[in-house]
Amino acid sequence: MGKFVAVCRVEQVAEGRGFPVEVDGLRVAIYRNRDRYFALSGRCPHANGPMGLGWVEDGEAVCPLHRWRFNLATGRCTTVRGHALHRYWCAVREGQIWVEV
């Protein structure tokens, strides 16, 4: 079990948009979808695209470079089979988003 680290405030993450953060040297993308928060790897496995600059469509994070899509709940790629983003546990406490690393 890892440790939880505060990465940003909830108001920094717009609905349907990614928000890039760095946690202990790891790039992580925070997403807000229907007032739920998700944390996924910050780099797309296809071309190292910045996932934190992407957006959400139909419950999936979309990479801004080539539009690869990843399920927010699982991290699995829905564009090309066999790829995934690491999903980090996250929680909201006192207006801050905490990510387990």
Q: Comparing C-alpha atoms, which of 33, 11, 7, 10 is closest to residue 20?
A: 7
Tell me which residue range forms the domain holding 33: 4-100
> How many domains in the chain?
1
Check: CB of residue 38 under 8 Å from CB of residue 72.
Answer: yes
Its pTM stands at 0.95
Q: pLDDT digit string (tens) for 43-69?
A: 999 999 999 999 999 999 999 999 999
- CATH number, domain at 52? 2.102.10.10
How far from the centroid of its chain's Cα atoms is residue 6's Cα? 15
Per-residue confidence band for 2, with pLDDT thresholds at 50, 70 and 90: confident
Averaged confidence pLDDT in the chain: 97
